[in-house]
């Protein structure tokens, strides 16, 4: 299979992904919580896990600079730029790009970049703009006032779309910075595969508990019209049945979440919280400047609070995808 995002390869990769004729929406196969016997994520296959683990850890960067790729124009990557981004995503599920676009507000920047990386199916979430790309800035009013991403408050650890239905999980995400905050607004990033390794190495029962289909429930969301989004129950870790890649669904929030009440799940959750609060060298911190961005396979991330107001307020574009790089 070629490394470029050509249509033939995309069709092969996505043969079991469905375009729902009724809704016109793209849906992916339900992730499996029982990995195939030869999967490194099968708890019955220690040999496959150890081989994958060794390869994974040996390819992990040790400095955040190792994640950074300089590109001239994200709308039109050179082959070397394209390969450098995908190489980082293959190794550690995330790349940071630094472009010459500066504060250019062209939304084609994230959109065209995503397309070149094989990210074609945008999640048109509740507050996304009509083009599926969300402008993240301070909310001046309306529904956005209720959501932390549109405020300057810190945003706790999570993966995107953890409240989505099982068949509409977010597999990749892109953030492009048009204007940074005056101060703050720093993202921390942790590859979810590294979190999996830490958990499994500590106690295999942790990952077993987090792969249960009822490990984590996000209660329904009610608005003035009734149930705006039904409750979503599912695993934290699951495996894409087609690509075999690991997917993580997580939020560190403590309200409006119900964890399975058994000792293994609660211990796993506690371990994960300690890991995310630790100074492990696997957590990278990035402050996006104008023209910079993050593209990732929906790794764990957070954002610090920030300061700034008026015309110079922080503006980022966010795109969420059902595709995996």
**Which residues sit at the interface with Fe ion, rule CB under 5 A?**
160
User: In this complex, which beta carbon is closest to Fe ion, that of residue 33 or of residue 251?
Assistant: 251
Tokens coding 195 = 């979190």
DSSP-assigned letters across all residues of 109-138? HHHHHHHHTT---B---TT--TTS-EEE--
CB 253 within 8 A of CB 203: no
Is 120 or 125 the residue whose CB approaches Fe ion more closely? Answer: 125
Unique residue bearing structure tokens 């043969």: 15
Residue nearest to Fe ion (CB): 160
Q: C-beta of 299: minimal distance to Fe ion in Å?
A: 10
CB of 197 to Fe ion, least distance (A): 22
State the minimum distance, in angstroms, from the CB of residue 292 to Fe ion.
Answer: 16
Closer to Fe ion by Cβ: residue 89 or 209: 89
- 160/240 with CB nearer Fe ion: 160
Is the separation of the CB atoms in 187 and 295 below 8 Å?
no
Q: At closest approach, how far in Å is the CB of 152 from Fe ion?
A: 15
195: which residues sit within 8 A by CB, 6+ positions away? 248, 272, 275, 300
Cβ atoms of 17 and 27 within 8 Å: the answer is: yes
C-alpha 163/C-alpha 94 separation (Å) is 22
Please list the helix, strand and coil fractions of the chain in percent, rounded to the nearest 5, in that order: 30, 25, 45
Q: Tokens 């099968």 — which residue?
A: 42
Q: Which is nearer to Fe ion, 156 or 204 (CB)?
A: 156
User: Strand pairing of 292-296 and 226-229?
Assistant: unpaired
Q: Shortest Cβ distance from residue 91 to Fe ion (Å)? A: 21
Spatial strand order of the sheet with 300-303 comes to 155-158, 300-303, 187-190, 284-286
Q: Which is nearer to Fe ion, 50 or 148 (CB)?
A: 148
Contact between 229 and 221 (Cβ < 8 Å): yes
Task: Identify any residues that bridge with 286 across adjacent strands, giving them in sequence order.
Answer: 187
Min CB(163)–Fe ion separation in Å:
12
* Token output for 83: 């390969």
Q: Provide, rounded to whole angstroms, the least separation between the CB of residue 149 and Fe ion.
A: 7
Tell me whether residue 239 or residue 299 sits nearer to Fe ion (CB atom): 299
Report, in Å, the least distance between residue 116 CB and Fe ion.
22
CA distance 315 to 325: 25
Looking at the Cβ atoms of 200 and 249, the one nearer to Fe ion is: 249
User: Rounded to the nearest whole angstrom, what is the least distance from the CB of residue 172 to Fe ion in the complex?
Assistant: 12
Closer residue to Fe ion, CB minimum distance, 239 or 296? 296
Answer whether 180's CB lies under 8 Å from 294's CB.
no
């Amino acid at each position: 299979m070629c490394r470029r995002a050509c249509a033939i390869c995309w069709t092969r990769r996505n043969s079991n992904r469905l375009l729902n004729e009724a809704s016109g929406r793209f849906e992916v196969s339900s992730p499996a919580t029982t990995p195939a016997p030869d999967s490194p994520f099968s708890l019955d296959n220690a040999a496959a896990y150890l081989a994958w683990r060794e390869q994974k850890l040996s390819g992990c960067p040790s400095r955040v600079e190792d994640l950074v790729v300089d590109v001239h124009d994200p709308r039109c990557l050179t082959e070397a730029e394209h390969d450098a981004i995908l190489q980082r995503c293959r190794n550690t599920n995330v790349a940071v790009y630094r472009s010459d676009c500066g504060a250019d507000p062209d939304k084609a920047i994230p959109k065209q970049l995503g397309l070149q990386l094989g990210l074609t199916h945008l999640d048109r979430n509740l507050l996304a703009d009509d083009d599926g790309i969300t402008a993240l800035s301070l909310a001046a009013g309306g529904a956005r006032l209720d959501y932390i991403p549109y405020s300057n408050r810190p945003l706790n650890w999570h993966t995107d779309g953890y409240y989505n239905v099982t068949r509409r999980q977010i597999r990749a995400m892109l953030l492009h910075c048009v204007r940074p905050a005056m101060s703050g607004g720093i993202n921390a990033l942790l590859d979810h595969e590294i979190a999996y390794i830490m958990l499994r190495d500590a106690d295999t029962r942790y990952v077993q508990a987090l792969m249960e289909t009822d490990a984590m429930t996000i209660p329904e969301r009610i608005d003035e019209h009734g149930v705006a989004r039904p409750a979503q129950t599912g695993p934290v870790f699951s495996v894409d049945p087609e690509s075999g890649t690991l997917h993580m669904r997580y939020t560190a929030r403590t309200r409006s979440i119900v964890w399975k009440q058994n000792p293994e799940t609660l211990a796993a959750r506690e371990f994960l919280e300690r890991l995310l609060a630790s100074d492990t060298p696997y957590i990278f911190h990035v402050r996006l400047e104008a023209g910079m961005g993050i593209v990732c396979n929906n790794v764990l991330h957070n954002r610090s609070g920030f300061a700034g107001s008026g015309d110079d307020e922080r503006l980022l574009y966010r795109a969420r995808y059902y595709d995996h790089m």
